[in-house]
């Protein structure tokens, strides 16, 4: 999954000429997204499922590898085994992962605004 995100993220930078983050930020200062071409709009549509998948992993249950509850369960296992250093690192990772979910939600909202703008301005989904 991480490899897929890295490839898509790298593609975003190449397609948008290094302006991937502002392009996907959605409507900006003048209520118009930075992306104003078919490739940028298609990229926005392609990134939406990636964000959904990542959020599903983060919000998964304790059996979902990589989810916050799974990381907390690993921390509890490490603490029970007496490895407090590892448990502390895992707890910090779980907190960081939970914060990441909030950022992904914000990006999904911005991406939805971009997709709406693209559809309204003649860049329908292919």
What is the per-residue pLDDT for 124?
76
Residue 119 in this model has a pLDDT that exceeds 50? yes
The answer to whether 52 and 63 have CB atoms below 8 angstroms apart is no
Question: What is the rounded distance in angstroms from the CA atom of residue 95 to the CA atom of residue 109?
Answer: 22
Place of tokens 């200062």: 29
Residue 7's SS3 state is helix
- How does pLDDT run across 79-108, given as a tens digit for each residue? 999 999 999 999 999 999 999 999 999 999
pTM summary value: 0.62
Question: What is the rounded distance in angstroms from the CA atom of residue 18 to the CA atom of residue 14?
Answer: 6
What is the per-residue pLDDT for 39?
83
Residue 35 in this model has a pLDDT that exceeds 90? no
């Amino acid at each position: 999954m991480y490899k897929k995100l890295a490839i898509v993220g790298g593609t975003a930078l190449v397609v948008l000429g290094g302006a991937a983050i502002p392009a996907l930020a959605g409507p900006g200062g003048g209520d118009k997204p930075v992306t104003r071409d078919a490739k940028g709009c298609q990229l926005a549509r392609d990134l939406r499922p990636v964000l959904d998948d990542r959020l599903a992993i983060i919000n998964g249950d304790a059996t979902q590898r990589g989810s916050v509850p799974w990381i907390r369960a690993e921390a509890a296992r490490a603490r029970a085994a007496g490895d407090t250093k590892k448990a502390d690192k895992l707890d910090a990772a779980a907190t960081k992962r939970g914060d990441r979910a909030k950022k992904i939600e914000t990006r999904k909202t911005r991406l939805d605004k971009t997709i709406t703008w693209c559809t309204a301005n003649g860049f329908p989904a292919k």
